[in-house]
Amino acid sequence: MTENLQTASSGSLSYQLVYSDKRKTIGLQVKHGLITVRAPSFVDKTFVERFVASKASWLRAKVSQQHNTENRLPRYRLMDGGRMLFMGKEFDIIVQTGRRRSIELGEEVFTFKLPSSYFASSEDEINCKGIPSKLTLQLEKQLDQWLKEQALKYLPERVRYWSSITNLFPQEVLIRKYKSRWGSCTSQRVVSLNSRLMLCPVEVIDYVIIHELCHLVHLNHSAKFWQLVNRHCPDMEQAKSWLKQNQREFYF
């Protein structure tokens, strides 16, 4: 497949124009406030400009919405006095000194314990809450390790549960940390799940598992794929909406 990347504009809208030999239709994408137009190689650039102009109102609204969303402070912040989710439940965060690095999960509180060397001194680079970047990075590392431990205990068992109901059995289940996706399924029937799913409510975790299991039948996102997902997860739209609204809160 041959692609040709250009910078173009239509009126006050600037965008990246990607020509492709493989495409048959024009596609629009807005990501992080940037517009990308994908078009078949045979389409005239003037036609693309007119097409973009006809979608100008929608594109401006989408760009504005993404800028507003990305500039908004996250609701959950990994810091002393912040809040975070685990299995869809909100917890307050306490960061305190301890001999060993550890995480303790209480009824309403997540307690992170770290050696005193991680805390702010007069020479540390600190943020507005008095926590140095060194500490913030360690909190993220500690949380990732803890979430993976919890995921290894919970997610494979949950996959086995849904496999028994759907009669869809993967060859292998892997737990990984992804930055931009919740799971994947390969043609070798290997299902991978993001350890940060442990931050989500159970019904959302179940949706992602069912989604990936259904890829064992349809390794695409065709209408038949979504029909199969909906058969086993009638509330999939609510789960998809929850993920869309909350993904940026999960330190991605």
Enter the tokens of residue 219: 């390794």
pLDDT in tens, 22-70: 888 999 988 777 899 999 999 988 999 999 999 999 999 888 877 766 5
**pLDDT attached to residue 122:** 37
CB 210 within 8 A of CB 191: no
- Residue 204: how many other CB atoms lie within 10 Å: 23
For the chain, the farthest-separated pair of C-alpha atoms sits apart, in whole angstroms, at: 67
pLDDT in tens, 121-145: 434 444 444 444 678 888 889 999 9
Enter the tokens of residue 86: 């685990």
pLDDT in tens, 208-244: 999 999 999 999 999 999 999 999 999 999 999 999 8
Does an H or E element contain 36, and which? strand 34-40
Computed over every residue of the chain, the mean pLDDT equals 86
What stretches of the chain adopt beta strand conformation (E)? 3-10, 13-20, 27-31, 34-40, 83-86, 89-97, 102-105, 109-114, 172-176, 183-185, 190-194
Task: Write the class of the CATH domain 148-247.
Answer: alpha beta
> What is the value of pTM for the model shown?
0.69
Q: Which residues belong to CATH 3.30.2010.10 in the chain?
A: 148-247
